[in-house]
Structure 1
């Protein structure tokens, strides 16, 4: 049984326990988030594109405030203490929201929460596994998140009428608190299987508060990742604006919108799970980093051209579903695997800066620049072409998934 499991998951026997705990960790994390996501998306449709610009700006401002605070914690805490502190902080926030919920503040908070805690998760994974291990295991680990993303909407749909939004917030907080157990168990595995050349896991991550910012903006490799992520987030904002306009017109009832978003989330995450488990490791081996990173940009180029030619609900949902499946099952694990070859400080600080400030900075900038732009889908298609070029730049720098030295 163990040997068969290793063959299916492409894992070594000593990696199975870490893989199981990482799967559970990501399951709990995304289940916690997806309990609340349909509520946020329904609020966004009610707000309209005009208020979305301000909400994106507020989210970006919150990210700017959090990055130096996170850098300060990284400089003083080991990863064994850092990660529980981060998740306990967000769980406490949920308890506070359960006492009093403000719609705009909740939208901003959930947008920050989603990026921040997932970024920290993948920083930890990059710290545990080498590039070669990431190419084999990240698909299965990401599948844990997909299972959580499936379970979250199901739990929400089955319990919201009984426990209300306050109850969902409390359930989400409890799931988030359980991730700390997984962190502790993964820390034990890491001490038994240390990565060659890494500092001791119990040592503080160190460095200055803004070291991640400097690293991200001075390394050509990390700058390439910044550009790659900026293209993704600008195009996501463009698609989100199209979604707000098309869904508002096609689905006037707020309750129906929430059900539509929940159904789309469920379909996306179920299909993503299949791709993560069955295809990611095989695709990463067959294609290598460049083509794997280029799949999503190519899909986006075709999808935005399609949406520009036929801006209707069916096309929006079809393109959106395929794009999100590609992002969650292929593009994001491939992008996160790039951080396995950089030093530990950059895995946490630079990655967190890129995943939060750069991501939400792209949201904010594109929110103001793209709102009301005629022919937005065709503009997005042009950006997709630049995204393809960046994918091949990063793939060329990486060259092979087994490379262990940082491509500076």
Structure 2
């Protein structure tokens, strides 16, 4: 505990602004998440889907309610693909001081639109909001960590990323509490304005952190983020395809999200069959509480020590191995309580260990990989995995839970192999990001 207080006591204002930034970002997101989940679980297809789609499904004799999540995940992936060139153009043609605020101002404007849509009970608002929140979450968090890699170098990232993550976890705890407290008092539409207020604080943090980003780039003689990045708007896709490290990170993301998607969907199916509504609600409430408490304990007391002493290897390989063991146990005995334990372990390890480990890697690559390739991995690859495995689960579920978890063992093996590939590939990186013009990340070819 004394070590934690010592670090925080002498921390620069950059750490405190970063903590506030991530805290407000995740608070704002978790205010929205229960609204999104309610839309995804809604039985009112007219509120979720556009009228034209509802009419077409009725004429075709298709029950949209039976495919709600699959359709929403598919729409989310399509939006991610369409937005990648837009984001690539933004970061290529404008300096950091322009495109970072522009991203958040766009999200704030969208919340204003959805406030109007919910206030007027606009048909189809549910699908639009569900997809938008998924896009917002991935893009906003990806941009946040890209910016942190501008503000902190590799050595400082090892010291502070665990604490910054803990700030986000506190926001993840506060957000649902705000929604639970205010949803019935002020209405769903006004909750969106509360979230917009937190994003406004994020904008302030972006501006306040700018001097540290500039100072870090000057100290390491790096290419300045105050200049437009240039390059192709689709460079992120090319980099992920060509570079061994980025390709391994994309595979790690794909299989890591895959195991989570299989586990989440099968957990929901088992809970729906075996537990009544009240018990199921308490089950999920205890799950979220346990995940957040375990996450913040690891972030504060373990993440920094592991990163500084051993590097990223244990932070990637230990969670992957634990998930592999968990799925093997579930294949033999798919009990709700065991699923609960594996879910807590999986999510807490991702937030407290694997995520900080991956993010420190981006402090050691050039800005094009940091902003463009990272966005591809964090958005397109993430949602592509979601889409693939939500449909895979639909097919496997017909054969029972043991088959789902047995398939999960295979996915977890691929995840572990990908984690090892990342550990090996990152060894060729310099300790600081390449200076000057974009250079190879780790043997691009």
In structure 2, the residue matched to 1:216 is 240
How many residue pairs get aligned? The number is 402
* 1:98 CA drift (Å): 1.4
Alignment of 1:30-179 (within 5 A): 30-46=26-42, 50-101=67-118, 102-179=125-202
List per-residue Cα deviations over 1:240-273 (Å, max 9, x = no partner). Answer: 21122122223443x7756654553333223211
What is the TM-score of this pair, normalised by structure 2? 0.85
Structure 1 unaligned segments of length 5 or more: list them.
Answer: none
CA spacing shift, 1:220–1:262, aligned 2, 3 Å = same
In structure 2, the residue matched to 1:28 is 24
SS at match of 2:12: helix
* 1:172 CA drift (Å): 0.7
Please say if residues 49 and 241 of structure 1, whose CA atoms lie closer than 8 Å, have aligned partners that are also in contact. no
In structure 2, the residue matched to 1:228 is 252
* 1:316 CA drift (Å): 2.2
* 1:39 CA drift (Å): 3.2
In structure 2, the residue matched to 1:197 is 221
Please say if residues 289 and 401 of structure 1, whose CA atoms lie closer than 8 Å, have aligned partners that are also in contact. no
| CA distance in 2 between partners of 1:26 and 1:321 (Å) | 22
In structure 1, the residue matched to 2:57 is none
CA spacing shift, 1:25–1:302, aligned 2, 3 Å = same
| CA distance in 1 between partners of 2:286 and 2:188 (Å) | 19
SS at match of 2:233: coil
State which structure, 1 or 2, has the greater radius of gyration over its C-alpha atoms.
2
User: Per chain length, whose mean CA-contact separation is higher, i.e. which structure has more relative contact order (CA < 8 Å, sep 6+)?
Assistant: 1
List per-residue Cα deviations over 1:199-250 (Å, max 9, x = no partner). Answer: 2231112211111111111101100100110111111111121122122223
In structure 1, the residue matched to 2:337 is 314
CA spacing shift, 1:192–1:8, aligned 2, 3 Å = closer
Moved over 4 A (4+): 3-6, 45-49, 255-260
Please say if residues 70 and 387 of structure 2, whose CA atoms lie closer than 8 Å, have aligned partners that are also in contact. yes
Please say if residues 297 and 384 of structure 1, whose CA atoms lie closer than 8 Å, have aligned partners that are also in contact. yes
| CA distance in 2 between partners of 1:286 and 1:300 (Å) | 23
| CA distance in 1 between partners of 2:19 and 2:427 (Å) | 28
| CA distance in 2 between partners of 1:151 and 1:18 (Å) | 23
| CA distance in 1 between partners of 2:100 and 2:383 (Å) | 22
**Given the alignment of the two structures, is residue 330 of structure 1 paired with residue 353 of structure 2, yes or no?**
yes
**Given the alignment of the two structures, is residue 290 of structure 1 paired with residue 313 of structure 2, yes or no?**
yes
CA spacing shift, 1:257–1:68, aligned 2, 3 Å = farther
Please say if residues 301 and 381 of structure 1, whose CA atoms lie closer than 8 Å, have aligned partners that are also in contact. yes
| CA distance in 2 between partners of 1:99 and 1:259 (Å) | 33
List per-residue Cα deviations over 1:6-49 (Å, max 9, x = no partner). Answer: 7345x9x5x52111111100000000111122333344445677
* 1:5 CA drift (Å): 6.2
CA spacing shift, 1:5–1:244, aligned 2, 3 Å = closer
In structure 1, the residue matched to 2:423 is 395
Please say if residues 288 and 401 of structure 1, whose CA atoms lie closer than 8 Å, have aligned partners that are also in contact. no
Please say if residues 221 and 394 of structure 1, whose CA atoms lie closer than 8 Å, have aligned partners that are also in contact. yes
Moved more, 193-202 or 272-281: 193-202
| CA distance in 2 between partners of 1:97 and 1:263 (Å) | 30
* 1:377 CA drift (Å): 0.7
CA spacing shift, 1:267–1:156, aligned 2, 3 Å = farther
In structure 2, the residue matched to 1:379 is 407
* 1:305 CA drift (Å): 1.9
SS at match of 1:18: helix
| CA distance in 1 between partners of 2:162 and 2:17 (Å) | 14
Report the RMSD for the aligned CA atoms in angstroms.
2.3
| CA distance in 2 between partners of 1:98 and 1:264 (Å) | 30
CA spacing shift, 1:72–1:256, aligned 2, 3 Å = farther
In structure 1, the residue matched to 2:60 is none
In structure 1, the residue matched to 2:51 is none
| CA distance in 2 between partners of 1:400 and 1:219 (Å) | 12
Structure 2 unaligned segments of length 5 or more: list them.
Answer: 44-64, 119-124, 435-440
| CA distance in 2 between partners of 1:56 and 1:73 (Å) | 25
In structure 2, the residue matched to 1:184 is 207
Moved more, 116-125 or 34-43: 34-43
Which of 301, 326, 342 in structure 2 is aligned with 1:278?
Answer: 301
| CA distance in 2 between partners of 1:343 and 1:308 (Å) | 42
**Given the alignment of the two structures, is residue 302 of structure 1 paired with residue 325 of structure 2, yes or no?**
yes
| CA distance in 2 between partners of 1:391 and 1:309 (Å) | 25
